[in-house]
Structure 1
Amino acid sequence: MQQLPDWMIFVGNFGFPTLIAVYLLMRFEKRIDDLTQAIQDLKESKNQED
């Protein structure tokens, strides 16, 4: 049985989790922006009531 080169082991151990983390961050970025906008809208509407 042939052994894998060190770089392939490194990619297998760290590349896949890094890829998943980047994917999730990109997906949640839009939701975070939407939440930020909603908070700003609530803040503005509260200031208008006062």
Structure 2
Amino acid sequence: MDDLYTNIANLGFPIAISIYLLVRIEGKLSNLTTSINELSKAIISLK
């Protein structure tokens, strides 16, 4: 039973942190993609 707790402590925490960071970064990547598309349209309109 102690091995189970050790594995949860050693693997569960990094997995939880990874999922949290991926969810946060996904939102920022979406905003970045939108900004890049708007910038591209602005550059095209200047030509």
Give the shorter-chain TM-score range.
0.7 to 0.9
TM value normalised by structure 1:
0.81
Q: Which has the larger radius of gyration?
A: 1
Could you list the structure 1 runs, at least 4 aligned residues long, displaced by more than 4 angstroms after superposition: none
Matched, 1:42 2:39: yes
Whose helix proportion is higher, 1 or 2? 2
TM value normalised by structure 2:
0.85
- Which structure 1 residue ranges, 5 or more long, are not aligned? none
Letter in 1 for 2:28: R
Letter in 2 for 1:12: A
- The Cα RMSD (Å) is 1.4
Q: Percent identity?
A: 32
Letter in 1 for 2:8: V
